[in-house]
Amino acid sequence: MIQDLFDLNGKVALVTGGSKGIGMAMAHGLARAGADIVINSRSQEEMDAAMDYILGGTGRRGHSVVADLFNRDDTVRLAREALNTMGRVDIIVNNAGTNIVNPVDRIVDEDWDRLLELNLTAPMILVRELAGQMKERKWGRIVNISSIFGLCAKEERGSYSATKSGLIGITRTMAQELAPWNITANAIAPGPISTPLTDRLVQGELRAYFDSMMPLGRWGKPEDLVGPVLLLASDAGSFITGTTLTVDGGWMTR
């Protein structure tokens, strides 16, 4: 049956940054498809509230880990705690990320290092730590959340674009190297997604610019990422690997 292609019963999904926004929506979608869920955040209170939503009505197991992925030791600890607590990790959704806006001639070393650590190094570490046990079972799904700015340019987004382009690059290598074990690796490049944070930060002329780039006439919602992540995290996407799926309302057609 068609729905069996998306059935994730018996699987465990780790969704970084899963306590709000896109991450929480994707984690909820994965739980509804049958997966047990692990999320991280720097706030246990925030994760407790998120887990109520993520697991609500699904009957699935969940585990939350207080971990700051700007800290490399925390990233390693997240991987190991997820594995030790849940017994396996079948799906990694590297969603946690941030953006610091600066012209290229004013990039601050500390900002550059923080963006690299969270947006690119943390995903690499999690895959490095967890790929081995996926190989043992000959099944795994890696979904790296990049951005349209990993595929195109905008002024003052140089640091962010570099990390998101790098994430696409390492995704292709992951796909090549892990394919013999039936492990796929893909990236999703979202366009503008409306959340309380983006709605507060993107206003005025910048908001008008983003609006003008959307052929569908609206910003995305976090729920718009659920279908794509389910495709790439399930047997429905078993012959898709090394690709980048844009979920952008048509932005890249401009």
Q: Is residue 254 part of a domain?
A: no
209: Cβ–Cβ under 8 A, 6 or more apart, which residues?
none
Q: For residue 226, tell me if it sits in a domain.
A: yes
Place of tokens 């610019």: 209
Amino acid sitting at position 180: P
Q: What is the pLDDT of residue 196?
A: 86
Q: Supply the pTM of this predicted model.
A: 0.97
Q: Is the pLDDT of residue 1 over 80?
A: no
Determine the pLDDT at residue 104.
96
pLDDT digits (tens, 9 = 90+) for 13-39: 999 999 999 999 999 999 999 999 999
Q: How many angstroms separate the CA atoms of 68 and 118, rounded?
A: 9
Helices (H), 185-237: 196-201, 204-212, 226-233
How many CB atoms neighbour CB 169 within 10 A?
Answer: 14
173 belongs to a structural domain: yes
pLDDT at position 197: 82
pLDDT in tens, 93-119: 999 999 999 999 999 999 999 999 999
Per-residue model confidence (pLDDT) at position 13:
99
Q: Quick one: pLDDT at residue 16?
A: 98
Mean pLDDT of all residues belonging to the chain: 97
Q: Which two tokens stand for residue 34?
A: 């049958």
Work out the pLDDT band at 131, boundaries 50, 70, 90. very high
Q: H or E stretch including 71?
A: none
Average pLDDT over residues 59-77: 98
CATH number of the domain that residue 222 is part of: 3.40.50.720
Do the domain assignments include residue 198? yes
Whether 76 is covered by a domain: the verdict is: yes
Long-range contacts of 39-45 (CB under 8 A, 24+ apart): 39/14, 39/15, 39/63, 39/64, 39/65, 40/16, 40/64, 40/65, 40/66, 40/67, 40/69, 40/78, 40/96, 41/17, 41/66, 41/67, 42/66, 42/67, 42/68, 43/19
Which residues have C-beta within 8 Å of that of residue 76, sequence separation ≥ 6? 125, 129
Which residue reads 């900002």 in tokens? 111
Is 203 in contact with 161 (CB distance < 8 Å)? no
Query: Is position 207 within any domain?
Result: yes
Buried b (16+ CB within 10 A) or exposed e, 18-52: bbbbbbbbbbbbbbbbbbbbbbbbeeeebbeebbe
Q: What is the domain extent for residue 95? A: 2-248
Q: Say how many domains are in the chain.
A: 1
88 in a structural domain: yes
The answer on pLDDT for 3 being more than 80 is no
Strand order in the sheet with 12-15: 62-66, 36-41, 12-15, 91-94, 140-145, 183-190, 244-247
- pLDDT exceeds cutoff 80 at 62: yes
Catalytic residues: 160
Average confidence (pLDDT) over 228-234: 98
pLDDT the model gives residue 2: 79
Asked whether residue 253 is domain-assigned, the answer is no
